[in-house]
A and B are shown apart, each in its own frame.
Chain A
């Protein structure tokens, strides 16, 4: 620690300037900002939801951000995936998003995983993080991430989008419900169209992703009331926000009293991305 950092409670002068608007908030303060800088958050997906999370959690000074995605940037992504630019077409999404975060805030240590998260790597990747932000685009990955988070006791900040609708919740294992308490099983292939087939308003993942980022920061700081135990439904056409009660299901196959699921499942064969 340099002399200036020692003078300012562990922050450098530049950090005092950068995070000043946080530090003067009584709910955050220097201690809260330090906690954010010491936090490790994993983003599943660097797409529509992952982009606003990457940019704003990076700007907020989350000290370590991991990003998992195996895709490359395509021009059809740019209508909503704002961490990537036209110049990034053809590049790996994790590299592009990492560069965007570093350009905003060099304090952030960005770790990239250019891979699809699977039953073989999920536990090893997630274990290293305090918190997971799920912004993936398939049911298979959502169930895998949920189950891994339950097994490891990591909170999963859930967000998903479809056309003009969004859903957000916080699944905190052992404290409240998980994704399977809400939706016990994925739909069979063909029952639900994807955004690719059905379309999605480009602004929608920005709004939903930032609600996830807000819940992530609140969870890390232990402030306010998170969406644990509640499902927020957002309708962009109606501009309505409604919340439903989500209860932990004692019969839940993964977080219930007698869980049947004790190993991770790859659902690809039942419901892959080609809905």
Chain B
């Protein structure tokens, strides 16, 4: 089931500069596996060596932070929009 993933500027070098990509996944964990398969290098930016989502990157599904849903097990359905939102500090 394809979902739309919004990729932040900092990660667009992995997606050929594309802001929106389609990817498959029944949940966030699978989605990250599939993103890595399609855009090698993404996983290391999103997850630490232990496979946990980095604490300065948030993933939102339809505007809701997955940390307050089911974390990496948060289920996805067709048409959902997944946003990757890293912390930025420029001022």
Listed in ascending order, the chain A residues whose CB lies under 8 Å from chain B are 45, 47-50, 134-139, 142, 159-165, 167, 182-187, 191-195, 198, 200, 205, 231, 233, 235, 237-238, 242-247, 249
Contacts and interface: CB of A to CB of B under 8 A. Distances in A.
Given A187-B56, A244-B60, A137 B65 contact: no
B15 to A, nearest CB: 14
Contact of A238 (B19, B58, B60, B64): B19
Contacts of B63: 242-245
Contacts of B68: 247, 249
Contact of A162 (B19, B58, B60, B90): B90
A244 B81 CA distance: 12
A159 B85 contact: no
A187 B90 contact: no
Contact of B91 (A159, A191, A242, A243): A159
B56 A164 contact: no
Given A136-B91, A205-B91, A191 B85 contact: no
Contact of B90 (A48, A182, A185, A249): A48
Interface string B56-72: 10101001110110000
15 contacts: A49-B91, A137-B89, A137-B90, A159-B91, A165-B9, A182-B87, A191-B56, A192-B86, A195-B90, A205-B90, A235-B19, A238-B19, A242-B63, A244-B58, A244-B60
Interface string B39-63: 0000000000000001110101001
Given A161-B91, A182-B58, A193-B10, 4 more contacts: A134-B91, A191-B56, A198-B10, A237-B19
